[in-house]
Structures are given as structure tokens and as C-alpha cells.
Structure 1
């Protein structure tokens, strides 16, 4: 069979409608039309997949104008019911976070208090940071660990310089809660990618701030000197009601019926070295009476006027037993509430409603003023965190909203920075409650620690926010989000590594001395910096690199990919549909992300 003639040799065919030959006008130069067609082809070319684009949900329901009176009433009632269910789920979610904090305090509060009481360990700044991380993870509250540090400084057990690294570590440890919350959206790849990135942007900022500012503080002591200058210039006075906050007033009526933990007992373990103490609260109201002893001197005695009535009162359970029960209950509640919140949000925030809320939350000031929008978000994050007195609760509430696509990652970042500032007010209030019966020196020292916490967060923001190219936490969080989208088990591995194994390993090595830590840490740090530089050049300027370094294919697959681990986990839990996706879906997501990146 003869091959068909080339395009230029095709016979002319006349169009019946417009008198064209081969689709072109006779006697007219069609170059202009060709250019236009080419532009149209480019314009209609499908856009590349953007894993970080906020999803647009079409409103598939019947338009309001097409509903009859009965249908309108049903829709309004159903909307009100969903709003009430959302508020109920949110309330129980807050309570479950409180239960989780109580469980960790019961399980790890004693250990945290004993670690804090070891003054020799705290003299090493690296040890101090890791103790801050681990203790905050154990008690699930940076407010608690910071308050313990403030109390120890006020009691002259800790020096202000020793307390600064612990406060830095507490900043890292508090971000474990919202990272844990993000796992609640693991069933949907897109939501999970966004939620995990929205949670870990907090982690990345805190780790980067410590990596940069800890050596600077050790070398110059700028946080110590700056906070001392500020505190010395203040007219100090105490504040009795320093520990009240809005959220506790709302959740406590319910949570105190289930369990009550006395955080002051952790302070006693840390400051007084008492070990034979139960953290379960038994006395809810007490008063102090004075009386004369046998020698005629006046003594004060504290008597209980009202016993607590929570479920564990008189149960005979140890702190570990009660903590284990509360841990299971709180995790179940947390998962159920997160699932309910996400489903209700997806149901409520559809079509025009979602568009309006997204437009409001992610609004940018017009023109050149758009740069300052993020600073307004920082102020909003600060104000809301001051209201709830917990950065963990604020960021944990925002994380599901990032997952469902209401808040963008670029907006979550400044909100998180604001929450870091807002949470420092807890330490400041705790410092202002310091007993000044022995003079104001204790108040000055404890307030100086709290101010160091504030200046540390402000310094981190000045480093990693004003200049857009310095916003490394966003890029790092996106990398982690993409990784968890491909390998969902990575989220659990990340939690274990970053908040338990890595701090424990650094803590153990630092016990051997600063020389051993430097000998192990500096080569690893140099390797990580080298890999980061090569990775940037591979993406931006690959021609600057030798041909072999333009990709990582020369390395064994176990050094450049998580696929071997993925296959291992797939074999270990092959029946798990969530942790181990089928190869087809996994390959499709990888292809989409690689196309974008």
C-alpha cells in the first residue's frame, strides 16, 4: 500500500460555506491566523497539577430561589442543626485536648518533674533544649512546662541563663499536638497533605528558630541581656489571678467531672524533690488556719473544705493506671471529634459559603499593601491565643480548616507565628503571680525568663518572616506534606522521630560532653547543609553542577527514596487501606507532585 502524500501535497478541498481551501482563505496570508491559533492552543493547554491549590467545591444542591416554602424551612433548620453539631464537636474536641493533656501529665508528669529537678543536666544548653522538648511532649502543654521553669527560677533552683534553652525546647514540644491532630484527616490524600503541612509549618519554624538562636544566645547572651534591660526598667507588682483563661472557664465544668490533675504537684516534684505525690487532685477547696502549738508559737495549717468529685476520686488507681485510661479515651474522642468536624465543615462550607469564607480568611490588601496582610494575621493569631491561653489549642483548631481548604498554608504560617507570641502571656502571668514576701528579686528573675520566651519568638519572626525568601518553614512544610501524601505512614514516623527519638538521642549524646556532641553533630550538620545546597541547585541551576550530581540516581535507592520502607510497611500491614495505598494510586500521586515540582 502506498503511503499517503505529505500535508503540502494534499489536493485542495473547497469549503462549501466560506470558500476556503484546506481550511485557509484564498489569496490571504494566514500567518496572523496561525499565530492566533497557536496562542489559543497555548491558552487552552491544561494547567499543571498544583497540590497546594485550595479546592473549589461546586454547590450541587438546589438553588435557594428554586425551593418552595417547605424546602426553605427544611434547609434553614438543617443548617442550624449542623452548626449546633459543629459547636458541640468543637467543644468536645477542646475537652479531649484537655483530657489528653491530663493523661500525659499523669503518665509523664512525675518524670518531667524529676528531670527538671536535675540541676546538673540543665547546665548544658543542648540538654536544656531537649529536656524542654521532652517535658512539654510529656505534659502536652508548653504553658505547664514554662510555668514550672518560671517557678524554679523564682525558687532560686534554676538560673535565668539555664532556663532559656528549656523555654526554647518547650516551644518545639508544644507543636506536637497539632501535628497529632492532622493525622485525623489521613483518609483523604489532598486534605491530609494540606493538614499535615499546616501543622508542621509550626514545627519547622520552632526548630529553625532554635537552631539559629541557641548558638547565638550561648555566644552573646543577647536574650538574657535584653530581657534584663527590659525587666529592670519596669515597675513590678504581683497579680493574683494570673492563671485564669477563657477556655478553661468553658471546658472545666465538664472536664472536672471526669478527671482533675494538680499541676502544682509537678512543680513540687521539680522544686522540692518530693516523689511520693499523686497528681490526681483530691481536694478542690481548702483554707489555711493559724493556731498555737505546744511551745506557744503560731503555725499555719492547710485543711481541705471540699473534696473533688471526678470519676477517679477514690478509685484506688495509680497515676499511671488513670493516665492510661485517659489516654485511650482522649485519643478516641479526638479522632471522633476530628472526623465529625471535618465532615460537618465539608457539608456546611460548600459552594458560595466556602468561597466567601475563603475569600475573607485569605484576603490580601490591595496593591503594595498586600505585604502587610500577614502582619495582621500575626496580630489575629496573637489575640486569639491570648484568649484561649494555649497555642496548641489554637493551632489544633486551625489545622482541620487548612485540611479542608478554607485556610491556605501561606495564611496559616503568620497565624502560627502569632500563636507563638500569644502563648508567652501564660509565662508572663505565671511570673507576675510569684510570691514577693521575700523581696522582688524572685519576681524579677521569673519575669525575665518569661520575657526571654517572648523575645525568642519575636527574634524568630524577624528572621523567618519579613523577607519572603527567608520563609523556609513554608517550603519545608510543603515537602513534608507531599511526602505524607505519597507515604501516609510517614506522619507517624515523623512524630516518633522528631518528638521522641531525635530529642532522646541528642540528649543522650550531650550527656557525654560538649566535645562528643560536637564530634557527632557537626559532621551530620555539614552533610545536611551540603545536601540542601545540592538540592536547591538541582531545582534552580542544574547546569552549575557536574552531570553526576544533577540528580541522586547514582545513590542506592534506600538513600534517595522511601519506597523500600513503603514496601516493608505494606507487607507488615497489608490489610491497612489507610497506611498503605495501592501501587497505582501511589504512583499517580507521585507523578502529579513530580510534575509540579
Structure 2
């Protein structure tokens, strides 16, 4: 009996040590993520010089920028990765007004993951209707947000102005102790070493190499952070979700935000909800607020990425705050107005019922919304 207790104690100690090691690894990977964004900014600035605007002239049309963000995120299946790359590009000279529609598009593109997850329920008609509705409510909400806020951004620069105001508050001159940014100083050993190796290749080649290395580092860090956090937190995230779902929409929104911050992935949060909906454990109106919270929680990655960039740090922070502001305003505006509140729910229920009757509708929807329609729009806008 004593041996059994000792074995249990040893197992608990090993588990605790393993948990601490995993958290240290998470911290290390977030450090690499911040370094990677800095490298992309440096590389973009080095490769383009003062030609950043000309390089992205094709995306000065907001619809083209929206399509780029949508397709890139749908292919990569991570809005965190895409928005982190955008933050790095803005730090290197990509105009903020070009980046805003790209961030909006990233919101749409990230919805593909949970939509694909719902296809696993395709064999059971009623189950598939519920699961596909739960997945696509995220799509309809994000599409409605774009329909509302993209025209406002084009006409008045609403998000750009709000992002600039917030960035100005957080980049006051006294905040970095006389010009020493501690986060930037902490990442300097890694970024300066890599830059020292690659910049001798020349401005264009060296800049491109820095961008490629930065993108690879972002992919790897976000991929492994996601894996580690899922192992550490998904069980707790499920508990939070189950506890909060019955407590009303406000609780659902806050819990969706918290879960997404914990697992660093809105795709994970929304994908966790799909089987719950498919099984009938929770209704679409109960799950819907979690989707809204997931949109807000996913902004933490871009904000982290913007804390230490070389180049235009204030612009990088501005685009990160634009991402946050856009998602918070979307929730306040759409969920706050009764006539808009359940429009995504009704649309998703109709699509789920239609797709359960004809499975080809689901396939056409995924390919059409995330690839075919954006591709056609990009082709049309390039000809205009």
C-alpha cells in the first residue's frame, strides 16, 4: 500500500514537472513569435526600401485586400498566423489602410476550420444539420461584420482612426524608459544575430530571406504553442464552456474570449462547439455567443506580436488594435441591435437544413465562400 502511494506521489511530481516544462516551452515559443514578427518587419523594410506602397498597389482596392486576407487564412487555417504576418508587414512599411481589409478577411478565412470539422457529422442527417449550422454561424457573423464595417472604413476610416488613437495611448514616450523598449531589447539577441547572417546577401535577397525566416518561425511557434496549450488547457476550456453556456449570452461571450486566449486559437474554440451542437447537447442560440467571444480572444496574438517590432512600431500596434476594435465593435453592434442579433443564427439554421438535405450544398458552400468567390473577386478587381 505504501509502495502504491509512493508511486502515485512520484507520478504527480513528474506530472507537475512536465506541466512546468510545457509552460516554459510556451513562453519560449511566444518569445520566438515576437522575434519572428520583428524579422518580417526588418525584412520587408530592407527589401522594399521606400517602395512598400507601390509593391502593394494591387491591394489599395479594399476588396482585393479583403480577398487576400480571406484566402491566405483559409489556406493556412490560422488567423493568428496571418494577422501576425500582417503586423510584421505594417511595421516594415505596408500602409495601414491596405492592411485593414486584410485583417477583416482573416476573420472570414478562419471560419473554414470549424466548417470542415462539421463535415465529420455528415452521415447523420439531423446531427449534420445541427453541426453545420453551429459551424457556419461564425461565417455569417463575420460576413455581416464586413458588410457593415468595410463601407464605414472606406468612407470614414473609422477603424484606422480608432486604432491610431489606441496605439497613441500605449506608445507614449515615457512608457519605454527613455527610449529603451525592454521587450525589443530582450528579442534583440535573436533578431540581430539572424539579421547579421542574412543582410550581407544584399538588400532585396537579404530582405526576402528575413521575411521567409520570420514567416517560418511564426508558423512553427503558433503551431507548437497551439499544441502545447491544447494539451494544457483544452480540458479546462471545455469545463469553462460547459459551465458558462447555460448562464446567458454575456457569460458566453466572456467565456468564449477567455477560452480562446487560453488556447490561442479561435478555430479550436469554435471547433469544440461543433460536436456539442451536433449531439444536441446545446442549441445554436446557446453556442452562438461563444463564437463572438472567440473573435475577440483571437486578437491577443497580434497584440503580443506588435509589442516588439523594428521599424514603424506605432503602426504595428495600430493594426493590432484595429483587429481588436473591429471584433469588439462587431459584437457590440450586431449582438446589441435586436433586428441584427439573430440574423447569423437564422441564416446558419437555414443553410444547415439545406445542406442536410443535399450534401453537395456543403461542399459548394466551402469551396465557393472561401476560394471560388474570393478568387473571382480578385480577378475582377485586378481588371478594374
| TM-score (structure 1 length as normaliser) | 0.45
In structure 2, relative to structure 1, the CA distance for the partners of 1:191 and 1:358 (3 Å cut) is farther
CA distance in 2, matches of 1:499, 1:271: 33
Gaps of 5+ in 1: 1-112, 242-267, 285-356, 365-372, 514-597
In structure 2, distance between residues paired with 1:414 and 1:399: 13
State the structure with more CA Rg.
1
Contact 1:134–1:503 (Cα < 8 Å) also in 2:
yes
- What pairs with 1:207-356 in structure 2 (closer than 5 Å)? 207-234=143-170, 235=172, 236-237=175-176, 240=183, 272-274=207-209
Change (3 A) 1:458 1:239: farther
Match status 1:387 vs 2:229: no
Matches within 5 A, 1:574-593: none
* Post-superposition offset of 1:362: 4.2
Structure (1/2) with the larger helix percentage: 2
Q: After superposition, what is the alpha-carbon deviation per residue over 1:96-144, rounded to whole angstroms, capped at 9, x for unaligned?
A: xxxxxxxxxxxxxxxxx9xx99512221111000000011112111111
Distance 1:118 1:496, change over 3 A: farther
In structure 2, the residue matched to 1:152 is 89
Instruction: Tell me the residue number matched to 1:547.
Output: none
How many aligned residue pairs are there?
287
Say which SS state the counterpart of residue 411 (structure 1) adopts: helix
1:508 and 1:271 map into 2 onto residues whose CA distance is: 31
Q: CA RMSD in A?
A: 3.1
What TM-score, normalized by structure 2, do the two folds share?
Answer: 0.69
Whether the 8 Å CA contact 2:244–2:252 is kept in 1: the answer is no
Deviation at 1:277, TM superposition (A): 6.4
Displacement, 1:271?
A: 10
Distance 1:425 1:362, change over 3 A: closer
| Equivalent position of 1:453 in the other structure | 323
Where structure 2 has 5 or more consecutive residues not aligned to the other structure, the ranges are 1-43, 45-51, 185-202, 221-239
Matches within 5 A, 1:538-549: none
String of CA shifts for 1:71-118, please: whole Å, max 9, x gaps. Answer: xxxxxxxxxxxxxxxxxxxxxxxxxxxxxxxxxxxxxxxxxx9xx995
Deviations 1:179-215 (A, max 9, x none): 0000011111111111100000000010111111101
Change (3 A) 1:463 1:478: same
Secondary structure (helix, strand or coil) at the match of 1:432 reads coil
Give the alignment partner of residue 184 of structure 1, picking from 117, 120, 127: 120
- Report the structure, 1 or 2, having the larger strand content: 1
Distance 1:432 1:226 in 2: 18
List 4+ stretches of structure 1 deviating above 6 A.
268-271, 275-281
> For the Cα contact (< 8 Å) 1:152–1:271, is it kept in 2?
no
- 2:382 aligned to which of 484, 492, 511: 511
